[in-house]
Structure 1
Amino acid sequence: MSGDAEYERVVAQGTFDVLHPGHLHYLREAAAMGEEVHVIIARSENVTHKRPPVLDDEQRREMVDALDPVTGAHLGHLEDFFVPIERIDPDCILLGHDQHHDIDGVRGALEGRGLDCDVRRASGREARFEGELLSTGRIFDRICEERC
Protein backbone atom coordinates (compact mmCIF):
# COMPACT_ATOMS: atom_id res chain seq x y z
CA MET A 1 0.00 0.00 0.00
CA SER A 2 1.10 3.53 -0.59
CA GLY A 3 0.48 6.87 1.07
CA ASP A 4 -1.26 7.23 4.40
CA ALA A 5 -3.98 4.66 3.71
CA GLU A 6 -4.43 2.12 6.47
CA TYR A 7 -6.16 -0.40 4.19
CA GLU A 8 -6.06 -1.36 0.53
CA ARG A 9 -9.84 -1.87 0.09
CA VAL A 10 -12.62 -0.39 2.21
CA VAL A 11 -16.30 -1.20 1.75
CA ALA A 12 -19.03 1.28 2.60
CA GLN A 13 -22.67 0.39 2.15
CA GLY A 14 -26.09 1.94 2.33
CA THR A 15 -29.25 2.94 0.52
CA PHE A 16 -28.07 6.32 -0.86
CA ASP A 17 -31.58 7.28 -1.98
CA VAL A 18 -31.01 11.02 -2.25
CA LEU A 19 -27.37 12.04 -1.92
CA HIS A 20 -26.57 14.64 0.73
CA PRO A 21 -23.50 15.98 2.60
CA GLY A 22 -23.72 13.21 5.20
CA HIS A 23 -23.19 10.61 2.47
CA LEU A 24 -20.21 12.49 1.11
CA HIS A 25 -18.71 12.74 4.62
CA TYR A 26 -19.08 8.96 5.03
CA LEU A 27 -17.44 8.19 1.68
CA ARG A 28 -14.62 10.67 2.22
CA GLU A 29 -13.91 9.06 5.57
CA ALA A 30 -13.75 5.66 3.84
CA ALA A 31 -11.39 7.12 1.21
CA ALA A 32 -9.09 8.45 3.91
CA MET A 33 -8.82 4.91 5.31
CA GLY A 34 -8.14 3.01 2.11
CA GLU A 35 -6.70 3.16 -1.36
CA GLU A 36 -9.93 1.83 -2.86
CA VAL A 37 -13.51 2.51 -1.75
CA HIS A 38 -16.16 0.09 -2.91
CA VAL A 39 -19.75 0.96 -2.11
CA ILE A 40 -22.51 -1.61 -1.91
CA ILE A 41 -25.90 -0.10 -2.73
CA ALA A 42 -28.81 -1.80 -0.95
CA ARG A 43 -31.42 -3.25 -3.26
CA SER A 44 -34.84 -1.67 -2.80
CA GLU A 45 -36.35 -5.05 -1.93
CA ASN A 46 -33.87 -5.47 0.92
CA VAL A 47 -34.58 -2.14 2.61
CA THR A 48 -36.92 -3.20 5.40
CA HIS A 49 -35.70 -1.11 8.35
CA LYS A 50 -37.04 2.15 6.91
CA ARG A 51 -39.21 3.38 4.06
CA PRO A 52 -38.13 1.95 0.71
CA PRO A 53 -36.03 4.11 -1.61
CA VAL A 54 -37.75 6.41 -4.08
CA LEU A 55 -35.01 6.10 -6.69
CA ASP A 56 -34.40 2.86 -8.52
CA ASP A 57 -31.43 0.62 -7.68
CA GLU A 58 -29.40 1.31 -10.80
CA GLN A 59 -29.92 5.08 -10.59
CA ARG A 60 -28.66 5.12 -7.00
CA ARG A 61 -25.66 2.96 -7.97
CA GLU A 62 -24.80 5.21 -10.92
CA MET A 63 -24.92 8.38 -8.79
CA VAL A 64 -22.67 6.93 -6.07
CA ASP A 65 -20.28 5.52 -8.67
CA ALA A 66 -19.78 9.06 -10.05
CA LEU A 67 -18.51 10.46 -6.73
CA ASP A 68 -14.78 11.19 -6.47
CA PRO A 69 -14.06 9.12 -3.32
CA VAL A 70 -15.61 5.99 -4.88
CA THR A 71 -13.56 3.40 -6.77
CA GLY A 72 -16.63 1.37 -7.65
CA ALA A 73 -20.30 1.10 -6.69
CA HIS A 74 -21.99 -2.29 -6.72
CA LEU A 75 -25.58 -3.40 -6.23
CA GLY A 76 -26.14 -5.59 -3.21
CA HIS A 77 -27.16 -9.21 -3.53
CA LEU A 78 -30.89 -9.91 -3.33
CA GLU A 79 -30.57 -12.76 -0.82
CA ASP A 80 -27.18 -12.55 0.86
CA PHE A 81 -25.59 -9.34 2.18
CA PHE A 82 -22.14 -10.98 2.17
CA VAL A 83 -21.94 -12.10 -1.49
CA PRO A 84 -20.56 -8.76 -2.78
CA ILE A 85 -18.29 -8.52 0.26
CA GLU A 86 -16.79 -11.90 -0.59
CA ARG A 87 -16.26 -10.76 -4.19
CA ILE A 88 -14.67 -7.41 -3.25
CA ASP A 89 -12.57 -8.97 -0.45
CA PRO A 90 -12.14 -5.77 1.60
CA ASP A 91 -9.69 -5.16 4.41
CA CYS A 92 -12.29 -3.08 6.26
CA ILE A 93 -16.03 -2.51 6.26
CA LEU A 94 -16.92 0.99 7.39
CA LEU A 95 -20.49 1.11 8.65
CA GLY A 96 -22.33 4.41 8.52
CA HIS A 97 -22.61 6.27 11.80
CA ASP A 98 -26.38 5.75 11.97
CA GLN A 99 -26.76 2.40 10.23
CA HIS A 100 -28.71 -0.29 12.03
CA HIS A 101 -26.01 -2.98 11.63
CA ASP A 102 -24.41 -4.26 14.81
CA ILE A 103 -20.60 -4.23 14.59
CA ASP A 104 -20.18 -7.42 16.61
CA GLY A 105 -22.85 -9.18 14.57
CA VAL A 106 -21.14 -8.25 11.31
CA ARG A 107 -17.76 -9.34 12.70
CA GLY A 108 -19.22 -12.68 13.76
CA ALA A 109 -20.80 -13.27 10.36
CA LEU A 110 -17.52 -12.44 8.62
CA GLU A 111 -15.62 -14.85 10.88
CA GLY A 112 -18.24 -17.53 10.23
CA ARG A 113 -17.52 -17.23 6.52
CA GLY A 114 -13.75 -17.22 6.99
CA LEU A 115 -13.39 -13.57 5.97
CA ASP A 116 -10.60 -11.61 7.66
CA CYS A 117 -11.87 -8.04 7.66
CA ASP A 118 -11.98 -5.20 10.17
CA VAL A 119 -15.35 -3.59 10.91
CA ARG A 120 -15.57 0.02 12.03
CA ARG A 121 -18.22 2.66 12.52
CA ALA A 122 -17.90 5.98 10.66
CA SER A 123 -18.17 9.29 12.41
CA GLY A 124 -21.24 11.45 11.93
CA ARG A 125 -21.11 14.83 10.28
CA GLU A 126 -22.34 17.79 12.26
CA ALA A 127 -24.51 20.37 10.52
CA ARG A 128 -22.44 23.34 9.44
CA PHE A 129 -25.33 25.79 9.44
CA GLU A 130 -28.84 25.93 10.82
CA GLY A 131 -31.24 24.00 8.65
CA GLU A 132 -28.60 21.92 6.83
CA LEU A 133 -30.17 18.57 5.96
CA LEU A 134 -28.00 15.50 6.54
CA SER A 135 -30.67 12.83 6.26
CA THR A 136 -32.63 11.57 3.27
CA GLY A 137 -35.75 11.33 5.44
CA ARG A 138 -35.41 14.96 6.50
CA ILE A 139 -34.91 16.00 2.87
CA PHE A 140 -38.16 14.26 1.93
CA ASP A 141 -39.93 15.85 4.91
CA ARG A 142 -38.76 19.31 3.81
CA ILE A 143 -39.86 18.66 0.22
CA CYS A 144 -43.32 17.66 1.46
CA GLU A 145 -43.54 20.72 3.75
CA GLU A 146 -42.59 23.12 1.00
CA ARG A 147 -43.95 21.49 -2.15
CA CYS A 148 -46.84 19.19 -1.29
Structure 2
Amino acid sequence: MEEAKALGDELYVIVAREKNINHKPKPIISENQRLKMISSLKVVDEAILGSEGDIFERLYEIKPDIIALGHDQHFDERVLERELKERGIKADVVRIKRSLDCELCSSAKIYKRIVEREKAKIFG
Protein backbone atom coordinates (compact mmCIF):
# COMPACT_ATOMS: atom_id res chain seq x y z
CA MET A 1 0.00 0.00 0.00
CA GLU A 2 2.88 2.35 0.77
CA GLU A 3 4.26 1.90 -2.75
CA ALA A 4 0.85 2.68 -4.26
CA LYS A 5 0.44 5.75 -2.02
CA ALA A 6 3.86 7.05 -3.12
CA LEU A 7 2.59 7.21 -6.72
CA GLY A 8 0.13 10.02 -6.02
CA ASP A 9 -1.45 12.41 -3.53
CA GLU A 10 -4.33 10.21 -2.37
CA LEU A 11 -4.78 6.47 -2.11
CA TYR A 12 -8.23 5.06 -2.79
CA VAL A 13 -8.59 1.31 -2.41
CA ILE A 14 -11.40 -0.58 -4.09
CA VAL A 15 -12.14 -3.74 -2.12
CA ALA A 16 -13.31 -6.58 -4.35
CA ARG A 17 -16.85 -7.84 -3.87
CA GLU A 18 -17.17 -11.52 -3.03
CA LYS A 19 -19.63 -11.90 -5.90
CA ASN A 20 -16.97 -10.78 -8.42
CA ILE A 21 -14.16 -13.07 -7.28
CA ASN A 22 -14.18 -16.00 -9.73
CA HIS A 23 -10.48 -16.59 -10.42
CA LYS A 24 -9.68 -18.08 -6.99
CA PRO A 25 -11.53 -19.40 -3.93
CA LYS A 26 -13.82 -16.91 -2.22
CA PRO A 27 -12.15 -14.95 0.60
CA ILE A 28 -12.44 -16.29 4.12
CA ILE A 29 -12.73 -12.76 5.48
CA SER A 30 -15.99 -11.04 4.51
CA GLU A 31 -15.95 -8.06 2.17
CA ASN A 32 -17.20 -5.75 4.94
CA GLN A 33 -14.50 -6.89 7.33
CA ARG A 34 -11.85 -6.49 4.61
CA LEU A 35 -13.21 -3.00 3.95
CA LYS A 36 -12.88 -2.10 7.65
CA MET A 37 -9.33 -3.46 7.81
CA ILE A 38 -8.21 -1.57 4.70
CA SER A 39 -9.98 1.62 5.85
CA SER A 40 -8.09 1.51 9.13
CA LEU A 41 -4.68 1.63 7.45
CA LYS A 42 -2.99 4.99 7.93
CA VAL A 43 -1.72 5.09 4.35
CA VAL A 44 -5.24 4.67 2.88
CA ASP A 45 -7.22 7.88 2.30
CA GLU A 46 -10.45 6.07 1.44
CA ALA A 47 -11.52 2.47 0.92
CA ILE A 48 -14.76 1.56 -0.83
CA LEU A 49 -16.44 -1.66 -1.88
CA GLY A 50 -16.31 -2.34 -5.59
CA SER A 51 -19.48 -2.53 -7.65
CA GLU A 52 -21.28 -5.86 -7.82
CA GLY A 53 -21.93 -5.27 -11.51
CA ASP A 54 -19.51 -3.26 -13.61
CA ILE A 55 -16.08 -3.47 -11.98
CA PHE A 56 -15.17 -0.14 -13.63
CA GLU A 57 -18.09 1.75 -12.03
CA ARG A 58 -16.11 3.03 -9.03
CA LEU A 59 -13.38 4.37 -11.34
CA TYR A 60 -15.92 6.77 -12.88
CA GLU A 61 -16.58 8.08 -9.35
CA ILE A 62 -12.94 8.29 -8.21
CA LYS A 63 -11.43 9.49 -11.52
CA PRO A 64 -7.92 8.21 -10.74
CA ASP A 65 -4.76 9.35 -12.51
CA ILE A 66 -3.03 6.07 -11.67
CA ILE A 67 -4.40 2.58 -11.04
CA ALA A 68 -2.01 0.51 -8.96
CA LEU A 69 -2.58 -3.23 -9.27
CA GLY A 70 -1.41 -5.48 -6.48
CA HIS A 71 1.10 -8.22 -7.27
CA ASP A 72 -1.63 -10.86 -6.98
CA GLN A 73 -4.38 -9.17 -8.97
CA HIS A 74 -5.31 -11.16 -12.06
CA PHE A 75 -5.62 -8.27 -14.52
CA ASP A 76 -3.30 -8.03 -17.52
CA GLU A 77 -2.08 -4.42 -17.53
CA ARG A 78 -2.26 -4.00 -21.33
CA VAL A 79 -5.79 -5.41 -21.53
CA LEU A 80 -6.88 -3.20 -18.64
CA GLU A 81 -5.33 -0.10 -20.25
CA ARG A 82 -7.23 -0.83 -23.49
CA GLU A 83 -10.51 -1.28 -21.61
CA LEU A 84 -9.97 1.96 -19.69
CA LYS A 85 -9.26 3.84 -22.92
CA GLU A 86 -12.41 2.43 -24.56
CA ARG A 87 -14.42 3.60 -21.54
CA GLY A 88 -12.88 7.09 -21.56
CA ILE A 89 -11.03 6.59 -18.27
CA LYS A 90 -7.65 8.31 -18.53
CA ALA A 91 -5.44 6.54 -16.00
CA ASP A 92 -2.02 4.94 -16.10
CA VAL A 93 -1.83 1.33 -14.90
CA VAL A 94 1.06 0.27 -12.66
CA ARG A 95 1.78 -3.18 -11.23
CA ILE A 96 3.03 -3.09 -7.62
CA LYS A 97 5.67 -5.68 -6.88
CA ARG A 98 5.34 -7.98 -3.87
CA SER A 99 6.94 -6.10 -1.00
CA LEU A 100 5.91 -8.06 2.06
CA ASP A 101 7.15 -11.54 2.60
CA CYS A 102 6.07 -12.43 6.08
CA GLU A 103 4.72 -15.57 7.63
CA LEU A 104 1.03 -14.57 7.67
CA CYS A 105 0.72 -11.74 5.12
CA SER A 106 -2.18 -13.26 3.20
CA SER A 107 -5.48 -14.90 4.01
CA ALA A 108 -4.28 -17.98 2.10
CA LYS A 109 -1.30 -18.30 4.45
CA ILE A 110 -3.54 -17.81 7.48
CA TYR A 111 -5.96 -20.46 6.17
CA LYS A 112 -3.10 -22.88 5.55
CA ARG A 113 -1.82 -22.38 9.11
CA ILE A 114 -5.27 -23.07 10.57
CA VAL A 115 -5.66 -26.23 8.47
CA GLU A 116 -2.21 -27.46 9.54
CA ARG A 117 -3.05 -26.90 13.23
CA GLU A 118 -6.39 -28.67 12.93
CA LYS A 119 -4.81 -31.63 11.12
CA ALA A 120 -2.19 -31.86 13.88
CA LYS A 121 -4.98 -31.97 16.50
CA ILE A 122 -6.79 -34.74 14.64
CA PHE A 123 -3.91 -36.84 13.39
CA GLY A 124 -1.29 -35.97 16.00
Query: Higher RCO, 1 or 2 (CA under 8 Å, sep at least 6)?
Result: 1
Given the alignment, which residue of 102, 113, 116 partners 1:145? 116
Alignment of 1:42-61 (within 5 A): 42-61=16-35
Alignment of 1:1-148 (within 5 A): 27-125=1-99, 127=101, 132-148=103-119
TM-score with structure 2 setting the length: 0.89
Q: Distance in 2 between matches of 1:93 and 1:48?
A: 21
Cα shift at 1:55: 2.1
SS of 2:6 mapped into structure 1? helix
> What corresponds to 2:122 in structure 1?
none
Runs of 4+ more than 3 Å apart: none
In terms of fraction of residues, the more strand-rich structure is 1
Q: Deviations over 1:11-63 (max 9, x none)?
A: xxxxxxxxxxxxxxxx1111111110000001111111111112222221111
Unaligned runs of 5+ in 1: 1-26
Q: Contact conserved, 2:66 with 2:94, CA < 8 A, in 1?
A: yes
Query: What is the aligned-residue RMSD (CA, Å)?
Result: 1.4
Cα shift at 1:137: 1.1
- The alignment of Structure 1 onto Structure 2 pairs a total of residues equal to 119
Structure having the higher Rg: 2
Q: 1:30 to 1:86 in 2, by over 3 A?
A: same
Letter paired with 2:36:
E
Of 72-81 and 57-66, the range deviating more from structure 2: 57-66
Q: Distance in 2 between matches of 1:72 and 1:126?
A: 22
SS of 2:74 mapped into structure 1? coil
Percent of residue pairs identical: 39
